[in-house]
Chain A
């Protein structure tokens, strides 16, 4: 197992960690989720059949792991709601926690953009992170998200427009 681990770690750990981190925006949670991801990958690596690239396969597992994490969070939240009215507020919330140290070097405008990512839908955020922060191709992004390429393009377009709108509103406000 150590050999496989070494190879996977050296090849993908940094990129996958970064992907997870920008989704969850919390180092501790990202550490837990990448650990979970690597456990799944190591368990399944022998069965990997090469139908997709190893990289997209690994990212896809990471994505599902993060989704599961969010679902658990949501279930926890629902427990508290019990009685759930359709008018209940359930919307994206802009994070208020301090910026991670790596991001403190960013210009104020970029820090604001980082904050505004919270206001995207999860799908939009996935596309933005994979396409622009991870510099993935549309093809690879579509493989990871299990979407059509046209859906990736459309979601990307909407996400950029939404960020534009959010940043513009902020300026006006």
Chain B
């Protein structure tokens, strides 16, 4: 057996190596630089099942946005936020690359420095809580039929039409609007069908039948990503995003993600029509 003899100089080098190792090798160290993804952060407003930390891959639209960025080989992260007021804050920051969601409260002034890229056309319906309304609420396409009632609007939603129809408006977060319906502090709300189904299943499973959808859709709203043109790379990255979106629509990824999450082939067909119209 060969004797292992280490010369003093080598020993010193080895010793210095071992002395330096424990500084970094005794366990995870918490610092913002190794854990935070601050590059190309998109701030998104919670809206299950489209955008939600509760949903697989953070929801259908989060997965689509990540797929588009990946297609263009752009690193990104999505921070999902529960409050519209925080999205409003990020809209005012030059350092924000993009925000996404529904009813973000974007003013005409804000809009001048944003580039909107629609991701999904949400067809919405009015809902009310049947046990508190012995007489069914009827919309039938006319807001005047709901005069005198109280509408639960999403924070950031444009509500002039309701006020003009003498309908009182109260704001709230998506889930809290359902709670307000049940409590009777609002009479009706407007919600994407998929969001209503998700929330009722998760939070009101035993009484989901008490939440009734009115006849006639309440309208269509785009759920979009808005690039901030004041951001140094906002315009360029918005262009890349649009190109990437075109690619994943063409290669079928957009449709397959929607199908996986929403399980509604008719809706996917409708969305493809809409997105192709936009991309033309």
Do the two shown chains form a genuine complex with each other? no
Chain B: residues with CB nearer than 8 A to chain A? none
